[in-house]
Each structure stands twice: as structure tokens, then as C-alpha cells.
């Protein structure tokens, strides 16, 4: 098959790495890719939101299969346009992508099909929204309905903070039209995990779990980020927990999406809060997580292309993933300053040395090549990923790789997987 992968992050480098291992892949193009991907295969300079250019490229190159990494092109309808011209695609239609593209859509689906999630209401006007904030009390969570580059959620510890967020979003000051409609919901206190399953519209194929670290600083301090590191599987993921997530959350979602006329093809990334042992759905993403994907790809032993193609063509009941018994762990290296403004265009050296450590793969995110050197061009820059026969050893390997890099302008958290390695009793 000739395959086109859309995206440029660490998630896409990990997907590309796994796609290239598939005997089904004759040729892989990545649009737009990054410097790490360019060392493996051909990058095409088309941005992820240039939907018509992507479709034209796929037609001209006679691409057999398109795999879409990020949510933005899905919400813009890339998968629909590819299907219209007869090209198989892994990723949901524009309407089905509303599960991530509209928080209100996702919450209403939960309400309709009795899927456990935080209590909520939707608002477009300030006065009733403020009254609801008073009624529910703090802590409380305010969410912009639309995509806001991962920044549209305010977990407010006080009523004042919550009311400021309501006014900022509904007045259009924050997030523009994405904030013109909001969801206000109950604060859930628990431990967060990420769960992944793929779907062909009808059949659901459970994958595995991971746990991300969203705050920028050690001990989960400082501002939220896109994710500073992850390990897989998550410590709370017992067989009973998995069954509960599948039966109470994912299966009703698959059935509900189908019944509502928008069957979902692609990957369900369920953000789950485990509250006193009970899983509740925080949100759906319609793509793999980044850096969760890096940890999943390191553990996947079966053919990724076969699995994703089966999902795209309605044959998911014919495949089954095989996972390594070994856990994996990914440490994200970011440019100093991230998630606020950060330094750019600084050289990263000794990448080969890091990659030579046993069990380690260094996935690139915001990198480019300049004058024969790899330089940083984004906030999250590398995903140093390791596998070993324990989380502790995977962590040692990943940090040994981090320490062998020569990149003074980069930083990382030093405590990835602390929950898995602490003696705290799991929820
Ligand atoms: P989201 O963009 O929906 O993933 O939200 C960002 C983060 O906000 C989540 O990863 C959670 O850590 C937190 N969050 C979202 N909703 C809730 C909630 N109802 N209760 C507590 N924390 C939440
Ligand atoms: N790591 C969280 C995300 O990809 O949204």
C-alpha cells in the first residue's frame, strides 16, 4: 500500500515508525512531518489544515490509505472528502469528530445514552451561566465548546475564578467563536487515565491504556501542557476497570453514535477520571494522544497498518492486537519557557547516543533540520521513549537517554510515572 500519514508531532513520528515496520506498507508519505520523520521517509510540505491540498496530493499520488493524526483536519472534514473520492481513511467523519470538536455534543451524547460523566449544563448567555455557577459551587469546571488548542478548560477552585472564565469565554475575549458556547460541569476529584479503542463504525477493538502528566512541573505543579510524559499501561487499569470502561462508556458510545446517524470510524481516546474506583468520562478525543501514542506504539507487537486498515474498511472483527508484556514510558523534552513563549532554533546534539541506549527510541516532535543539524522549532520537541521489563527500568533507560543528549535549552519533568512507582494505594 501507498500510505499518507497526516501530522507533524511526536504522535506521528511514533505512528510512522510503526507503519514502516508493516509488510503492508510499500511507501509512506507524511504531511508535513518533522526532522525525525524525514530521516525515515518522505515528508510533503502540506499543512494539516490544508484539506483540499491533502486530498489533491492523495489523488495524484494514488494513495491507497490515509491515516490522520491530529483532530483539526478531522473536524474540518478531511475524512469525508477522502471517502468521497474513494480513498480509504482512518479517522472519523466531520460529524463524528464533533465528539472532540464540541464538548456540548459529547456531553449531550452521554446524557442521552446514560454514559457516566460529570453533571453539566450548556450555556450561550452570561447571566444564566453565572447563576448555574452559584448553584453548583466551587470547585467547578468551565469548558469552551469548540477546539481551543487544548486550552479551553478552566478548572476553577473559586467562584470568582469560575465567573471570570464564564465572562471571558462568552464575551468572545477568550477563544473567539470556540468559546461562544460553553459547558459548565461538576468537578471530579480522582486519578486521570487515558484509554484507547478503535472502531469501524460498528465493531469496537479495545487497545490499551496510558497515564499522561499534564502539568509542566514535577509533582504535577505549574500550568497545563499538551502532556509532558506518559507510561503504559496505566496503574489503575485492572481487567475489571477495563471491562467497566468498555461496557459503561465505550460500547454505549459506539451504539449511540450509530443510532444517531454518525457512526464513528477511528480511534476513541477516552479521558477517564477514576473517582473512588469508578470510571467517569471526562472527554473524548478522536485521535491518539500525544505522548500516549508513543508509549502504545512501543508496546504494540502486531501490524498497525493491518489494524487501522481493518477499521477503515469495516473489518475490525478480523484483527486482534498483540501487546508486549513489557511496559513503556515516554519523557517529553520541551524548549525552555514552554508552555508560555519558548526559545526556538537551538541545536540538539547527541541524538544518536541517546537512541543507542538499550530499549530506547527518540521520537521527534517540534524539530527541523538546518545545515546538517537538528534544531528545535516547537514547544514540545522530543519524546524520549523506552521499554523494559518494569516501569522503573523503562524510566531509568529513558532518563539515561535524556541525560546523554546535549541540548542546554531543553528541559523535562524528572518524575514521569511517579504514581506507578509510588507506594500509594491505587484508587
Ligand atoms: P480536557 O481538555 O477536557 O481534557 O480538560 C483538560 C483537563 O482538565 C483534563 O485533563 C482534566 O485534568 C481537567 N478536567 C476536565 N474536566 C474535569 C472535571 N469535570 N473535573 C476535574 N478535572 C477536569
Ligand atoms: N496527551 C493528551 C492529548 O493528547 O490530548
**Domain harbouring 277, CATH code:** 3.30.470.20
Same domain flag for 297 and 332: no
For ligand 1, atom 15, the nearest C-alpha belongs to: 282
Question: What is the rounded CA–CA span in Å between residue 187 and residue 271?
Answer: 14
- CATH code, domain with 160: 3.30.1490.20
Same domain flag for 304 and 388: no
Same domain flag for 140 and 232: no
Same domain flag for 157 and 195: no
Same domain flag for 146 and 219: no
289 lines ligand 2 (CB under 6 A): yes
Q: How far is CA 3 from the centre of its chain?
A: 21
Same domain flag for 217 and 246: yes
Same domain flag for 222 and 296: yes
Residue that is last in its domain, among 318, 353, 375:
318
Q: Domain range holding 288? A: 191-318
CA of 315 to the centre of ligand 2 (A): 27
Measuring CA to CA, which residue among 298, 306, 307 is closest to residue 204? 307
Any idea which ligand is nearest the CA of 194? 2
Residue that is last in its domain, among 51, 74, 92:
92
283 lines ligand 2 (CB under 6 A): no
What is the sign, positive or negative, of the torsion defined by CA atoms of 346, 351, 357, 361?
positive
Mutate to test the pocket of ligand 2, among 9, 232, 290, 339 (most ligand atoms within 8 A of CB): 290
Has this prediction a pTM greater than 0.75? yes
Same domain flag for 153 and 269: no
**Residue 108 is assigned to a structural domain of this protein:** no
Same domain flag for 164 and 224: no
Query: Residues 216, 338: contact at Cβ < 8 Å?
Result: yes
285 lines ligand 2 (CB under 6 A): yes
**Residue 112 is assigned to a structural domain of this protein:** no
Same domain flag for 223 and 271: yes
Same domain flag for 313 and 376: no
- CATH code, domain with 60: 3.40.50.20
Measuring CA to CA, which residue among 153, 151, 123 is closest to residue 139? 153
For each of the chain's 427 residues, which pLDDT tens digit applies? Answer: 999 999 999 999 999 999 999 999 999 999 999 999 999 999 999 999 999 999 999 999 999 999 999 999 999 999 999 999 999 999 999 999 999 999 999 999 999 999 999 999 999 999 999 999 999 999 999 999 998 877 889 999 999 999 999 999 999 888 888 888 999 999 999 999 999 999 999 999 999 999 999 999 999 999 989 999 999 999 999 999 999 999 999 999 999 999 999 999 999 999 999 999 999 999 999 999 999 999 999 999 999 999 999 999 999 999 999 999 999 999 999 999 999 999 999 999 999 999 999 999 999 999 999 999 999 999 999 999 999 999 999 999 999 999 999 999 999 999 999 999 986 655 5
Question: What is the rounded CA–CA span in Å between residue 213 and residue 378?
Answer: 19
**Burial class of residue 382 in the structure, from the number of CB atoms within 10 Å of its CB (0-12 exposed, 13-18 middle, 19+ buried):** buried
- Please tell me the total count of domains within the chain: 4
**Residue 97 is assigned to a structural domain of this protein:** no
Same domain flag for 205 and 308: yes
Amino acid at each position: 500500500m501507498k500510505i499518507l500519514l497526516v501530522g507533524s508531532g511526536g504522535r506521528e513520528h511514533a505512528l510512522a515508525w510503526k507503519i514502516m515496520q508493516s509488510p503492508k506498507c510499500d511507501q509512506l508519505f507524511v504531511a508535513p512531518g518533522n526532522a525525525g520523520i524525514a530521516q525515515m521517509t518522505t515528508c510533503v510540505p502540506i499543512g494539516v489544515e490544508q484539506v483540499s491540498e491533502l486530498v489533491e496530493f492523495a489523488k495524484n499520488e494514488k494513495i491507497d490509505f490515509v491515516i490522520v493524526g491530529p483532530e483539526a483536519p478531522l473536524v474540518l472534514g478531511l475524512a469525508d472528502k477522502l471517502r468521497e473520492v474513494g480513498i480509504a481513511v482512518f479517522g472519523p467523519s466531520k460529524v463524528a469528530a464533533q465528539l472532540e470538536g464540541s464538548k456540548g455534543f459529547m456531553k449531550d451524547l452521554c446524557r442521552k445514552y446514560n454514559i457516566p460523566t460529570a453533571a453539566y449544563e450548556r450555556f450561550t448567555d452570561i447571566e444564566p451561566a453565572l447563576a448555574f455557577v452559584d448553584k453548583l459551587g466551587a470547585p467547578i469546571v468551565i469548558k469552551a465548546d469548540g477546539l481551543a488548542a487544548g486550552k479551553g478548560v478552566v478548572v476553577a477552585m473559586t467562584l470568582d475564578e469560575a465567573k471570570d472564565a464564564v465572562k471571558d469565554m462568552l464575551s468572545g475575549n477568550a477563544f473567539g467563536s470556540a468559546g461562544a458556547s460553553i459547558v459548565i460541569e461538576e468537578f471530579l476529584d480522582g486519578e486521570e487515565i487515558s484509554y484507547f479503542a478503535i472502531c469501524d463504525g460498528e465493531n469496537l477493538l479495545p487497545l490499551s491504556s496510558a497515564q499522561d502528566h499534564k502539568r509542566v512541573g514535577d509533582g504535577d505543579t505549574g500550568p497545563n501542557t499538551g502532556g509532558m510524559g506518559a507510561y503504559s499501561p496505566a496503574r489503575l487499569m485492572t481487567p475489571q476497570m477495563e471491562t467497566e470502561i468498555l461496557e459503561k462508556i465505550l460500547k454505549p458510545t459506539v451504539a449511540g453514535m450509530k443510532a444517531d446517524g454518525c457512526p464513528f470510524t477511528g480511534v476513541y481516546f477516552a479521558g477517564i477520571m477514576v473517582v473512588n474506583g469508578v470510571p467517569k468520562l471526562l472527554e473524548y478525543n478522536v485521535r491518539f494522544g500525544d505522548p500516549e501514542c508513543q508509549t502504545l506504539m512501543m508496546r504494540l507487537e502486531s501490524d498497525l497498518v493491518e489494524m487501522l486498515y481493518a477499521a477503515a474498511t469495516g473489518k475490525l472483527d478480523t484483527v486482534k492486537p498483540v501487546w508486549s508484556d513489557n511496559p513503556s514510558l515516554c519523557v517529553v523534552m520541551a524548549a525552555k519557557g514552554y508552555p508560555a513563549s519558548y526559545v526556538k532554533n537551538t541545536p540538539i546534539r547527541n541524538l544518536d547516543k541517546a537512541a543507542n541506549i538499550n530499549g530506547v527510541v527518540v521520537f521527534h516532535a517540534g524539530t527541523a533540520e538546518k545545515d546538517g543539524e537538528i534544531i528545535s522549532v516547537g514547544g514540545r520537541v522530543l519524546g524520549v521513549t523506552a521499554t523494559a521489563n518494569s516501569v522503573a527500568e523503562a524510566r531509568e533507560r529513558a532518563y539515561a537517554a535524556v541525560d546523554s543528549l546535549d541540548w542546554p535549552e531543553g528541559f523535562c519533568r524528572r518524575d514521569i510515572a511517579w504514581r506507578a512507582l509510588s507506594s500509594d494505594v491505587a484508587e
